Amino acid sequence: MKLEGVFLDSRLGRRIFLLFVLAATVPTMLLSALAYNGWTRFAAAQEEERLTQATRYFALTVLDRLLAARAALDAVELDPRAAPGDERLLGIFRSIVIVPSTPAEGPGEGTRSTVSWLRHAADQVPARVIIRSRDDTTGLTRIAELETNYLWSEAFDEASGEQVCVFAGNGVQIFCSASVDIAASEARPADARTASWNLFLRHEFGVDDWRFTVLKSGGAALRNGVSFVHIAWQVVLASVLLVVILSLVLVRRTTVPLHKLTVGTRRLAAGDYGVRVDVHGADEFGELGTAFNDMAGRIGRQVHQLEVLSSIDREILEASGAARLVRRALARLAELSLGASVGIALIDPATPAQLSCSLHAPGGESCEQELALTPALQAALLVHDGAWRRAADAPALADLLAALGWPAETVYVSPARWREQTLGVLLVSQGMAASPDAAWELQVGELRDRVAVALASAARERQLQHRATHDSLTGLLNRAGLHEALEQAVHAQQSLALMLIDLDRFKVVNDTMGHEAGDELLIGVAQRIGRCLPRGALVARLGGDEFVALVPDTASGHIDEIADELVLHVGRPVMLRGTQIATGASLGVAMFPADGQTAADLLRHADMAMYAAKARGRAQVARFEPALDSAAVEHAVLSRDLTHAVERGELRLHYQPRVDARSGAVRSVEALVRWQHPTRGLLMPGAFIELAEETGLIGDIGHWVLHEACRQLATWRREQVALETVAVNLSVHQLRTPAIVDDVFAALRSHGLAATELELEVTESVMVGDVQGTSRLLAQLRAAGVRIAIDDFGTGYSSMAYLRYLPVDVLKIDRAFVKDIGSDASADIVVRAIVGLAGSLGLVTVAEGVETAAQAQLLTEMGCGELQGYHFARPLPPEALPQAVRARATPAAANAASVA
């Protein structure tokens, strides 16, 4: 019996066992003790009774013998000479004498006979017993001595260990079977029992009673007692043994299932969901075992489902792709629907006419195929939300099942939807081993929902991926996508040519015709580039008007041909919104692996080659070579550095005073940006503004300038520097974003300036492109009080007619005219006309680039309102300005202005 482990291990088992053993042994022992006690007492009483009986019997036997002896004696012939020859007397009497009766010898009164005893010595036992019998008719007395044997022998059972003593009336012992005097208690053994009986002799023999005492040593009773104890012990032991066995059986029946259940529960708690307990039977343990197994099974299934779902979730998070995910879901679906064919049909929103199916047949083989998703099939698949559909009811469904090779007539269709979009359908054929119930539908539903989320996430991932690597305008690869492709090619050691194409006059188109036209042009260019390239080539747009073509290098001459063709085609004039536009293109080529080992190197070198091509003139192709034109390299490097200039705080503002033409006092300043380059020193706007506009950095730079200029004017206000306004140059790019209005107001507000203290200088180029939008922005600013100045007035190609409706306060006459006045009559005419026109429109005129006193005087005479130029002051760092303003505030200075 495999008991030990269980029994010893189980505390409950030990407790029950001990309880049983105690419950059995204690009463048994107690009962035994009581029984033993009662039994010994009963036995003693019995013994005593028996002994008394024996004593009585012995005494009566002796009496009988005495009476018989007397009768025999009485029958003896009274002839004294006659010998006692009677045979019958032999054995009874030792001797008989007949004597004449004497009163002295006669028996006591009333009796004719008497019995007496005779001892020669005090210790003679047995004593000699003598009977006298008087014959009153003859006057003779018969006296006889009895044979000892006759009287005493076989009168008691010597074999039973009994001893008997007989005492005469005076207490003298006349017979004793033992050598000791049993009447004396000290001579008796401790366990001896005695019984006495008084034999009444007075009536027959006229003497006192003889006392019979029988002694029995206790051995027999004791022996009986011992055997009783022995038996009692055996009974106790047997019953205890029985109890032990029974209790062990019971304990085993209780603790073994309990142990199994405990172990099972522990294992279940430890996550072993496959655990089942081997506890059967019709009792509660059996029920518990069945319930436990059911529960473990259910928990296991649920945990498994959760695991699969969470593994799907994990894959959603890890974005490990829809394919793996669908495989996982399929496996789970097959597990849920044992015996049936299962499938997941994927509907790609990008190509809605196509349905790819992943199917698991019950045999385990799987197939993946693409099928046409006809509208009828779509209707058959998509309208039902987790329902059994009969193929017979929907022919399209029947066709699908036939195409899949499913013989099923009924199929469970459960569409995986995400935000109203169906991304896939779970399919289960009929013929499942277990009939589908609500729990099954629930689990399939859960799975389907995860699949929906997973597919949506995968689709979004793909979309993001596409967006991250593609240019939204042209659909080409973007910079990141190009990098990726380039890295791959480099990794694969696939020799190729990297061609960087830059449009020559794109900025002009963009500025003059607006962004939309610019976008149109870029799309056209992208298409034309694509048409020039061989199969296997990739095109990317790096941003702005820069394109890159990755062309597999088949033969070197071939590459040159392609490059030339690209420049030719891209540079060809196109019609854009009714205008013929000719944007030339410059192209730089870097070869892999000859010109660089990494994607970054290759791009940089192609960039250098492209700048070299630009430097050679328009519409040129240049191949990278180590000794490329340093100016082109510089341009490339500079544009890279500029991207960090704002965040690194490398920009500065200098301020050039504008003086009142009449008084010579400084009325305002123009903020002019400078770039404190870490290695090249202080750079002028000419070196980087165009670059900033090309790269779009002008937005950040302009924002910084605006806020910095406002901050500075506010500072000067606090320092009592007498300035009316600060003028800030706005790039046309800034005016293309409506946010500029808020930005201007924010700058004013945050530095506590009034709108009238700010002047914004814009060039005439704002008059082309989206004129209405720009004028609306300017009008908004002007309405708030901000002054608007047209910078470089007269250099633009537009007519002056716009001045009528453009919200403007100031005209800044370009230096080109100012430079020539006094020496070139036509310049004088133009300036005079501008001043006149401005006056008639109520605008202030400011002359720029006034370098001489003569120019200043002439301009003053022409009616120009304010003057600005080296003649008065160069652009000054902010700390130098207060001094310059104060110097010009004196009347002398004013004089100097007008006189000089």
Q: Which residues bind ligand C2E (CB under 6 A)?
A: 656, 671-673, 684-686, 689, 702, 705, 729, 731, 761, 791-792, 815, 848-851, 869-870, 875
Half-sphere exposure of 508 (CA within 13 A, CB side): 9
Dihedral angle computed from the Cα positions of residues 307, 310, 312 and 317, in that order, rounded to the nearest 10 degrees = -150
Q: Cβ 868 to Ca ion, closest distance in Å? A: 9
Question: Which does residue 571 touch among Ca ion, ligand C2E, none (CB within 5 to 8 A, set by kind)?
Answer: none
Q: Cβ 814 to ligand C2E, closest distance in Å? A: 7
Q: Where are the alpha helices (DSSP H) in 821-890?
A: 825-841, 853-862, 881-888
Question: Which does residue 705 touch among ligand C2E, Ca ion, none (CB within 5 to 8 A, set by kind)?
Answer: ligand C2E
Half-sphere exposure of 487 (CA within 13 A, CB side): 7
Question: Which does residue 870 touch among Ca ion, ligand C2E, none (CB within 5 to 8 A, set by kind)?
Answer: ligand C2E
Q: Which helix (H) or strand (E) is 133 found in, with range? A: strand 128-135
What is the spatial distance between Cα 642 and Cα 675, in angstroms, rounded to a whole number? 9
Of 579, 580, 363, 602, nearest to 485 (Cα)? 602
Half-sphere exposure of 441 (CA within 13 A, CB side): 11
- What single string gives the DSSP state of each residue in 809-822? SEEEE-HHHHHHTT
Q: Cβ 509 to ligand C2E, closest distance in Å? A: 19
What is the spatial distance between Cα 417 and Cα 451, in angstroms, rounded to a whole number? 9
Stretch that binds Ca ion, among 72-80, 90-98, 134-142, 724-732 (CB under 5 A): 724-732
Q: How do beta strands 162-167 and 210-216 pair?
A: antiparallel
Number of chain positions touching Ca ion (CB under 5 A): 5
Q: Cβ 858 to ligand C2E, closest distance in Å? A: 14
Residues 845-864 that bind Ca ion (CB under 5 A): 848
Q: What single-letter amino acid sits at 435?
A: S
Residues 733-792 that bind Ca ion (CB under 5 A): 761, 791-792
Question: Which does residue 774 touch among ligand C2E, Ca ion, none (CB within 5 to 8 A, set by kind)?
Answer: none
Q: Cβ 671 to Ca ion, closest distance in Å? A: 9
Nearer to ligand C2E, 5 or 649 (CB): 649
Nearer to Ca ion, 397 or 788 (CB): 788
Q: Cβ 848 to Ca ion, closest distance in Å? A: 5
Stretch that binds Ca ion, among 17-25, 710-718, 727-735, 747-755 (CB under 5 A): 727-735
**Inter-residue contact 605 to 590 (CB < 8 Å):** yes
Of 523, 507, 528, 623, nearest to 570 (Cα)? 528
Nearer to Ca ion, 228 or 704 (CB): 704
**Inter-residue contact 274 to 298 (CB < 8 Å):** no
Nearer to ligand C2E, 112 or 751 (CB): 751
Question: Which does residue 794 touch among ligand C2E, Ca ion, none (CB within 5 to 8 A, set by kind)?
Answer: none
Nearer to ligand C2E, 313 or 809 (CB): 809
Q: Cβ 867 to ligand C2E, closest distance in Å? A: 10
Nearer to Ca ion, 629 or 761 (CB): 761
String of contacts with Ca ion for each residue 445-484, x by CB under 5 A: ----------------------------------------
Q: What angle do CA 578, 580, 585 make, to 5 degrees?
A: 140
Nearer to Ca ion, 571 or 849 (CB): 849
Q: Cβ 678 to ligand C2E, closest distance in Å? A: 20
Of 313, 315, 370, nearest to 345 (Cα)? 370
What is the spatial distance between Cα 739 and Cα 728, in angstroms, rounded to a whole number? 17
Question: Which does residue 849 touch among Ca ion, ligand C2E, none (CB within 5 to 8 A, set by kind)?
Answer: ligand C2E
Q: Cβ 837 to ligand C2E, closest distance in Å? A: 20
Q: Cβ 763 to Ca ion, closest distance in Å? A: 8
Cα Rg, the chain, nearest whole Å: 70
Structural tokens at position 740: 């500029």
**Inter-residue contact 314 to 307 (CB < 8 Å):** no
Neighbours of 433 (CB within 10 A): 9
Structural tokens at position 120: 């020669």
Nearer to Ca ion, 620 or 734 (CB): 734
Question: Which does residue 72 touch among Ca ion, ligand C2E, none (CB within 5 to 8 A, set by kind)?
Answer: none
656 contacts Ca ion (rule: CB under 5 A): no
**Inter-residue contact 239 to 28 (CB < 8 Å):** yes
Question: Which does residue 685 touch among Ca ion, ligand C2E, none (CB within 5 to 8 A, set by kind)?
Answer: ligand C2E
What is the spatial distance between Cα 662 and Cα 857, in angstroms, rounded to a whole number? 10
Of 589, 585, 593, 572, nearest to 490 (Cα)? 593
Length of the chain: 900
Nearer to ligand C2E, 558 or 815 (CB): 815
Question: Which does residue 225 touch among Ca ion, ligand C2E, none (CB within 5 to 8 A, set by kind)?
Answer: none
What is the spatial distance between Cα 163 and Cα 463, in angstroms, rounded to a whole number? 128
Nearer to ligand C2E, 566 or 705 (CB): 705
Quick one: which of 729, 734, 845, 855 contacts Ca ion (CB under 5 A)?
729
Q: Cβ 681 to ligand C2E, closest distance in Å? A: 15
By CB under 5 A, name the binding residues for Ca ion: 729, 761, 791-792, 848
